Structure 1
Amino acid sequence: MKQQIGAKHFTSENDFLEKFGAVALEKQRNLFEVTGDLSWNVNMDTEEITFGDNLTFPIQVLGSFSHSSETWLWIWENKAGGYAESVMKQALLLKQYGEENNIDLLTVGKFDAVENDLHLIGMIAVEMFNASGYYLGNYGQGTMVVSIKSDTIDKVESEDFARILTVFPELISTFEIQNHKNAFTNYLSQKGYELTSNGDEIKAEKNGNVINAVFNEDNLLTKLNGNS
C-alpha cells in the first residue's frame, strides 16, 4: 500500500493539536475497544502487530523511546536497527513534511523526550495518513510507537455525544493548547455539529444533542456540559 500525506495541513505542534488533536485522540478509544489490555507482539518481517492470539494488524513503525536516556529516536535515524524502508514509509514522509514546514519534532532524528511527545507523534501519523490509531508498545528497555490501520477498528460504533464530553477535556488536560476555543470548534465541526457562537459561549447541536462550552478571555475552556 502506497503511503502518502493526506490533504490535512498544519504548521506547528500547537496548530496540529488545535486542528486535529481531539479527533486523533478519539480514535484511540476505538483502538482500545478492540484490543483492550491484550498482550502485544510486533513482527518486523511481516510488518504486523498482534494483540492476544488472533488480532493482527499491519503497522508502520515511527520510532522508539529509550527509558534509560529518555530520548526519542526516529526509525530512520536508527542506523543499528537494520529496518526495511517499507516499514518506515510514514516516518520518512513525516520527516519530509517537517522539513517543508519547519517542524523540528518531525525532523530531528534524536532528542530528549517525554511521554506526551510519543502520543503527539502517534496522533500526527494517525491523522496525516488516515490510520486507525497508534500504539505505544513497552518492551522493557524502551517504548516503540507504531501506527495501525484496520477496518475492524474503524468500524467501532461509539456514542458520539458522550465521547465528546470526555475526549475534549482529556485533550486540553494532557496537552498545552493555546486556544481551546479553536480546538473545540474544529473538533465539533469535524463531528458534524452545527455551531452557534454567543460571545464567550459556543453551542453545538446535532440530532437533538446539545453541547455548551464557555471560554474565558484567553480562549481557555471554563465550562463544558451537554444534554441529549
Structure 2
Amino acid sequence: MTDDQYPPAAVGLRERAREAEREGRWAEAEELFRQAVEAGDPVAAYHFGNGLADRGDDAGAETWYRRAAEQGVAAAAFEMGYLEESRGDQDEAERWYRRAADGGDRSGTLNLAALLENRGDLPAAMDLFRRAWELGSDKAAFNLGRLYDDGGEGDLATAAEWYERAADRGNAGAAYNLGHVRRDLGDTEAQVAAWRRAADLGEPKAAYSLAVEFRRQGDQESAATWLRRAVEEFGDATAAGVLAESYEGRGDRDLAVFWRNALYGLGTYSPRFEAFASQGSVAAIHQQDLLGEALGDGYVSFDVDERTLTTGGRTYHGVTLLGSFSDLDRTWLWAWANQHYGDDHPAVGPLRAIREYGRDHDLPELTIGCLNLSGFPQPHQAATTMAIAAGALLGGNGVHSVRINDGRGSVYFHLDDPELPVAAYDPIKAAGLVMRAVEVFPSDHRRVVRGLIAHYGGMIAEAPDVIQGRFPEGHTLTVGFTSDGLVKAITSER
C-alpha cells in the first residue's frame, strides 16, 4: 500500500503526528494519530501502536496494531503475528504472518517461513525464505544456506552460494558458517578468508576459530593476534584462558594473571599499563587539578553528538567520549565497544589513537572493549585512574566524569578546548604532585619522577639515591630515594 490510497488530509495528520512524536510532544502526537485514523489512514494506527509500545503500553499498542492490520497494513499484521506467536498461538500467528507476507512485509515473510520450517514443511519454508531474500532479508539467505548445508551433509555448493549472499549483506553468522562449508569442501584458504570476514562483521566465534586454525597450522604469531582479538572485541573467555596459559608457559606470571582475570575481575593493572600510567601520573594529576578548578562542581550537561559539555553557564567543545563505568557490575566499557556509538561516531573516533597506542605497546587495558574491575579494592577509582591515564594520550585538558543512571554509573569525557588551561611545569606544586602520584602508583617511585621530568622537557641526571631534573625555564627538581627506591626528600628550586 502507498499513501496515494489514503486521503491526503489524513496522511498529513499522520506526518504531523510523527513529527510531534520525534520532538517529544507525545500528547499532541497521540491526538493527531487518532485524528489521522478517523480521517481514513490506517498506517497512522500502526505508527500509533509503535508509539504506545515504546512507552510500555502493550495493550494499547495491540489495539491499534490490530486495527491497522485488519485494514491491510502489512507491517501491523507482522506485529500481530509476533504477539500471537509469543503467546503460543501458532495458528493465529500463521494467519497474521500470511497476511503480512501477502502484503509484501519482509519480516512477516521471514517469520512465516521459520514457522513452517518448525512444522516440518521445508519446501514451503524455503520458498518463503527465497521471497524474503528478494524483499531484502539477509537472514533469509542465511537460513537457506543453513538448510542446504544440513550440518555438513547436504548440498554444500548451494549452501555456500546462499551464505555468500547473506554475508554480502553484512550477515556475520553467514560468513562464519561459510568458513565451515569451505573447510568441508577442502578449501582452507577460503575457510580462513570467510572467518576473517566474519570477525570483521562482528561474529563472536570467528576470532577464536581463526586462532585455533592458525595454531593447527603452526602459525603461533597469527594465533596470538586472533586470541587477543577474541578477548578484546568479543569477550571470549576461552581465548582469555588460552592466552593466560601461553604467558604462563613463557614464565610471564603477571600477564598470565592479567589475562586469566581480564573478564572475571581484575585486581591489578597489567605490568606494562602500570608502567605507562605511572610515568605520566604527575602531569596527569596536575592537569586534572587545573580542569577541576576551571569546571567547578556544578551541574553538568553534555551533548555527545555536538561534542559539547556545559557547566557553570559555559559550553566547552572538543569533547571525546572515553567510556563508562557501571557500579552495578563494576565494569568499564570503552565507548568504541558501546553498541550505541561505535568507532565512527564523531565523539568516539579520537579513541582510535588510544587503541592503536595500546596495540603498539601491548597495553591490553587500552584494547579490551569491556573490563571487569571488580577485583580492585575501589573499582570506580580504578576506572577513573585508567581513564585519566588513557586520556593523556589525546593531549588536551584532561578528563571529566558525570554520574548517570541515578548514580549507578559514570560516563567519562576527555576535553580539548582552547578556552581551558593546559598545565605547565610548576616548581611550587611539584613536590606535592609527586607525593600524590606515588600514592596512586607505589610500585616504582623512580619511574614516576623520571616521567615528570621527561614530560616537561627537563634534562635528567640520575644516581643510585637521587634523580635531578633541570627544566628549560631554569627550575631544578631534586628527589632523594631510600635504599629500596622510595621517595624520601624533594627539593624544588627556581
TM-score range, shorter chain: 0.7 to 0.9
- Other-structure match for 2:411: 144
Q: Structure 1 residues 62, 155: closer, same or farther in 2, change over 3 A?
A: closer
Q: Does 1:106 align with 2:366?
A: yes
Aligned residue among 454, 465, 473 for 1:200: 465
Q: What are the Cα deviations for residues 97-124 of structure 1, in whole angstroms up to 9, with x where unaligned?
A: 3234332201222122222232222322
Indicate the structure with greater helix content: 2
- Other-structure match for 2:310: 50
Q: Structure 1 residues 131, 155: closer, same or farther in 2, change over 3 A?
A: closer
Distance 2:326 2:358 in 1: 22
For normalisation by structure 1, the TM-score amounts to: 0.81
For normalisation by structure 2, the TM-score amounts to: 0.40
- Other-structure match for 2:294: 34
Aligned residue among 115, 126, 130 for 2:395: 130
Give the alignment's Cα RMSD to 1 decimal: 2.5
Task: Give, in angstroms, the shift of residue 82 of structure 1.
Answer: 4.5
- Other-structure match for 2:328: 68
Q: Does 1:161 align with 2:161?
A: no
- Other-structure match for 2:449: 184
- Provide the secondary structure at the position in 1 that maps to 2:449: helix
Q: Structure 1 residues 208, 60: closer, same or farther in 2, change over 3 A?
A: closer
Distance 2:360 2:453 in 1: 29
Task: Give, in angstroms, the shift of residue 18 of structure 1.
Answer: 3.9
Q: 2:437, 2:448 within 8 Å by CA — same for their partners in 1?
A: no
Q: 1:25, 1:123 within 8 Å by CA — same for their partners in 2?
A: no
Aligned residue among 420, 434, 438 for 1:172: 438
Higher relative contact order (CA 8 A, sep 6+): 1
The number of equivalent residue pairs is 214
Q: 1:123, 1:133 within 8 Å by CA — same for their partners in 2?
A: no
Matching residue's letter, 1:111 = L
Q: Structure 1 residues 159, 97: closer, same or farther in 2, change over 3 A?
A: closer
Q: Structure 1 residues 218, 60: closer, same or farther in 2, change over 3 A?
A: same
Aligned residue among 274, 277, 280 for 1:14: 274
Matching residue's letter, 1:138 = R
- Provide the secondary structure at the position in 1 that maps to 2:305: coil
Indicate the structure with greater strand content: 1
Q: Structure 1 residues 122, 165: closer, same or farther in 2, change over 3 A?
A: same
- Provide the secondary structure at the position in 1 that maps to 2:399: strand
